[in-house]
Amino acid sequence: MSSDAARGYSAVGGGAALLLMLLLSLTVGPAFV
């Protein structure tokens, strides 16, 4: 049960990090170009 919770937490954290990186690249990318 704890492993499922940890897996779900890591999945949510990974998704949030990926979304944040995508947003950052979209906002900062054009500024450098």
Mean pLDDT by 10 residues, the chain (33 residues): 76 87 84 65
The CA distance from 8 to 5, in Å, is 5
At residue 32, the pLDDT reads 66
pTM of the model: 0.53
At residue 19, the pLDDT reads 92
The CA distance from 18 to 12, in Å, is 10
How does DSSP assign 6-17, residue by residue? HHHHHHHHHHHH
